[in-house]
Amino acid sequence: MQQHAEHAGYAEHGDQYIDGAWRPSRDAGAITVLNPATEQVLASVPAGGAADVDAAVAAARRAARAWGATAREERLAPLTRLRDGLAAAQEEITATVVAELGAPVGFAAAVHAGLPLTVAGSYLALLAEHPFEERIGNSVVLAEPAGVVAAITPWNYPLHQIVAKVVPALAAGCPVVLKPAEDTPLVARLFARLVHEAGFPAGVFNLVTGTGTEAGAALIAHPGVDLVSFTGSTGVGREVAATAGRALKRVALELGGKSANVVLPGADLARAVNVNVANVFANSGQTCSAWTRLLVHEDRYEEAVELAAEACAKYVPGDPADPRTRIGPLVNAEQLARVRRYLDGALAEGARLVVGGSEPVEGLPTGYYVRPTVLADVTPEMTVAQEEIFGPVLVVLPYRDKDHAAELANGTPYGLAGGVWAADTETAAAFARRLDTGQVDLNGGRFNPLAPFGGYKSSGLGRELGRHGLEEFLTYKSLQY
């Protein structure tokens, strides 16, 4: 029997969701879930391994043929109930993410709870109209499910990443085994409960909590898995691709980023800088697509640095449960140490500390808090200009002309996202075409859940969201007449 997370006190969970029911874990061990703001223990969940993964994959394989053969209406019905369940659980989702991730409650409600609901709704609309059959010449081309999906999700946007993988996979007719991040398993358990309440057939969705090295590795290598959808670091993504490649499994990889926000001459500099700071500091900087590099023409460089410092002052770390808080803690002690190492390294390499730094945050002796930081005088080869920090750190670089700006923007191993600001949209769009990156916001363009999300170069393979995200889970068969 599932125990619900009790954020006021400790909750011990010993079960996994496998084959349509909560079942005792077959593997020994547990994962402790901490509140990153208080460092108190919230709960424990099973540290599943090969035995749990075997059971989950076996259940998914048993369900695969029947679920894959359903008509779209038969998939739409439980998916609609799941969407409605997400809508009804918005407050519980928000509270869970605030507790286990440390996201500020306002941001958690709008993004961590609200965005998954929007994405789920978008896939209902896509499923209702997607052409799973198409005539091309003397052929009928059938779009069929790709098979059993291993969905491995990160902690930084825990429910959004679950929904962005699981919902399109289920919509495509694929059964799923989900392995969520160790730091944020409670919202994954909440999601599994909503799936159960929505009435999907047994085995169509399965949840195994565990570590990446045990449960994750067993799932990726399992011969019963046909497709691996992974979001996480580029280093781990390479290992996932190598393991899957040996078995000729399909992979979808959404990996790291070091995105550039380029402010061209004639743009509204103040707005561009303020939006950039908000972009980087959201979710405590734990966003793979964040514009962590601000590129400004050398003539207005110092003005941009000053604007960034002023904007940074609005972000005072605090209790994520307080509605006034705009920036909470990092997810764990390891992330805190990582960000501080990057900050100290930047100063050692010659960067100028404008605001922030690696010193502890005053008045917050408990919790994994880091100072929101702006670094200037950063050169393109510095570590902080090349590597993903995953914290609230903005580096500001000057450029000489547009060619130099494009060279700097493209001058990292990554290519996930970016921004361009110009006097008009046409100028911004023309420059954006020169960028080797998967998604570019022009003059503050809004996030679009129907547009494909994913990267160039070391930022990954494949796309999530919208029609392109659905098609990641389909394979094609041609019938010639």
Give yes or no: residues 328 and 429 share one domain. Answer: yes
Confirm whether 5 is domain-assigned.
Answer: no
According to the model, what pLDDT value does residue 7 have?
Answer: 43
Distance CA 129, CA 125 (A): 7
Give yes or no: residues 193 and 305 share one domain. Answer: no
Residue 9 has pLDDT above 80, yes or no: no
Percent of the chain with pLDDT over 70: 98
Other Cβ atoms closer than 10 A to 16: 29
Q: What is the CATH number of the domain that holds 224?
A: 3.40.605.10
Sheet holding 41-46, edge to edge: 11-12, 41-46, 30-34
Distance CA 168, CA 147 (A): 13
What is the number of structural domains in the chain?
2
Cβ-in-10-Å burial (0-12, 13-18, 19+) of 446 comes to: exposed
Give yes or no: residues 315 and 244 share one domain. Answer: no
pLDDT band per the 50, 70, 90 thresholds, residue 10: confident
Give yes or no: residues 240 and 281 share one domain. Answer: no
Other Cβ atoms closer than 10 A to 334: 11
**Among the options 100, 182, 254, 464, which is catalytic?**
254
Residue 99 has pLDDT above 80, yes or no: yes
Give yes or no: residues 307 and 189 share one domain. Answer: no
What's the DSSP call for residue 326? S
Give yes or no: residues 298 and 444 share one domain. Answer: yes
- Report the candidate in 89, 16, 90 with the shortest Cα–Cα distance to residue 55: 16
Distance CA 326, CA 9 (A): 26
What's the DSSP call for residue 299? G
Is the Cβ–Cβ distance between 100 and 33 less than 8 Å?
Answer: yes
Sheet holding 139-145, edge to edge: 133-136, 139-145, 474-480
Confirm whether 191 is domain-assigned.
Answer: yes
The average pLDDT across 461-469 equals 98
**Dihedral angle of Cα 112, 113, 118, 120, to the nearest 10 degrees:** 100
* Residue 288 annotated as catalytic: yes
Confirm whether 398 is domain-assigned.
Answer: yes
**Among the options 174, 182, 214, 288, which is catalytic?**
288
Confirm whether 4 is domain-assigned.
Answer: no
Give yes or no: residues 249 and 310 share one domain. Answer: no
* Residue 174 annotated as catalytic: no
Distance CA 115, CA 289 (A): 16
Provide the token pair at 29. Answer: 């061990």
Give yes or no: residues 315 and 442 share one domain. Answer: yes
Which pairs with CB-CB distance under 8 Å and at least 24 residues apart come from 24-32? 25/52, 26/51, 26/52, 26/55, 27/51, 27/52, 27/210, 27/214, 31/182, 31/185, 31/209, 31/210, 31/211
Confirm whether 2 is domain-assigned.
Answer: no
Residue 401 has pLDDT above 80, yes or no: yes
Residue 416 has pLDDT above 50, yes or no: yes
φ, ψ of residue 4 to 5 degrees: the values are -80, 150
Distance CA 120, CA 315 (A): 31
Distance CA 399, CA 301 (A): 9
Q: What is the CATH number of the domain that holds 313?
A: 3.40.309.10
Confirm whether 1 is domain-assigned.
Answer: no
Give yes or no: residues 215 and 303 share one domain. Answer: no
| DSSP β-ladder status, 149-152 and 227-231 | parallel
**pLDDT tens digits along 292-308:** 999 999 999 999 999 99
- Compute the residue count for the chain: 481
Is the Cβ–Cβ distance between 268 and 419 less than 8 Å?
Answer: no
φ, ψ of residue 89 to 5 degrees: the values are -100, 15
Give yes or no: residues 274 and 136 share one domain. Answer: no
The average pLDDT across 167-196 equals 98
**pLDDT tens digits along 266-276:** 999 999 999 99
Give yes or no: residues 345 and 233 share one domain. Answer: no
Cβ-in-10-Å burial (0-12, 13-18, 19+) of 320 comes to: buried
Confirm whether 46 is domain-assigned.
Answer: yes
Scanning the structure block, which residue is given the tokens 């901490």? 34
Confirm whether 454 is domain-assigned.
Answer: no
According to the model, what pLDDT value does residue 47 have?
Answer: 98
Taking all residues of the chain, what is their mean pLDDT, rounded to a whole number? 97
The average pLDDT across 329-335 equals 98
Residue 6 has pLDDT above 70, yes or no: no
Residue 294 structural domain: 260-448
Give yes or no: residues 352 and 468 share one domain. Answer: no
